[in-house]
Amino acid sequence: MSKHLMVDLETLATTPDAAILTIGAVTFDPKTDKIFDEFYARVDLESVTELGMTVDNKTIEWWSTQAPEAQDEAFGDGDRISIQEAIDRFHKFSWHCSNFWSHGAAFDIVIIEQYYRALKKAPPWNFWQVRDTRTIFDLGIDPEMPQANKHQALEDARRQAIGVQNVYKKLLQDK
């Protein structure tokens, strides 16, 4: 059984140096229905801006149009940790994963890699271990992802992992 990781971020910009608000991740086996563990961190914005990361006004405006529950989770004050601690915990969480997924090849993984560089750490993956849900979901197979609160990083990571599992299941059935 292989152990893959799905990561999702909520941010304050869409560039590689985007300020991170929350990090959600799950470990899962793409060939079964198994989700092993979950990770969630609400990041202290001051620790992010001290690293020189970007806050974009257009993204803040976009957040103002999102559901109140998503806004509360992304911007609420409780349970925040420094980005250094969040990355350290995420790194430990990712041990023994063989592949690393995100919803889009040029967003979540790229942003986290920027933080690893800023913190002078090596990311837990090699470039050949990175996977992209948008590519697999574009094969014409319905990923049948469950409904969830959008823009809540852990829920998004969980539903995207389930979508990957559903596509794998359908592809393997056709063999």
CATH of the domain at 158: 3.30.420.10
**163, 135 contact by CB (below 8 A):** no
Q: Please tell me the distance from the alpha carbon of residue 47 to that of residue 36, in angstroms, as a whole number.
A: 30
Number of separate domains in the chain: 1
Would the pLDDT of 139 be above 80? yes
User: What does residue 121 show for φ and ψ, rounded to 5 degrees?
Assistant: -125, 155
- On whether the CB atoms of residues 135 and 104 are closer than 8 A, the answer is no
Give the confidence band of 1 by pLDDT, cuts at 50, 70, 90: confident
Q: What is the pTM of this model?
A: 0.96
Provide the token pair at 57.
Answer: 């006004």
The confidence band for 125, taking pLDDT boundaries of 50, 70 and 90, is very high
Strands of the sheet containing 80-81, edge to edge, are 80-81, 35-43, 20-28, 4-11, 99-102, 130-132
Q: Which two tokens stand for residue 20?
A: 């991170």
Q: Is residue 157 predicted with pLDDT exceeding 90?
A: yes
**Structural domain boundaries, residue 146:** 4-173
Express each pLDDT in 102-115 by its tens digit: 999 999 999 999 99
| DSSP-assigned letter for residue 14 | S
Residue 45 has pLDDT above 90, yes or no: yes
Place of tokens 């999102």: 66
Question: Which residues does 34 contact at the CB level (< 8 Å), separation at least 6?
Answer: 1, 28
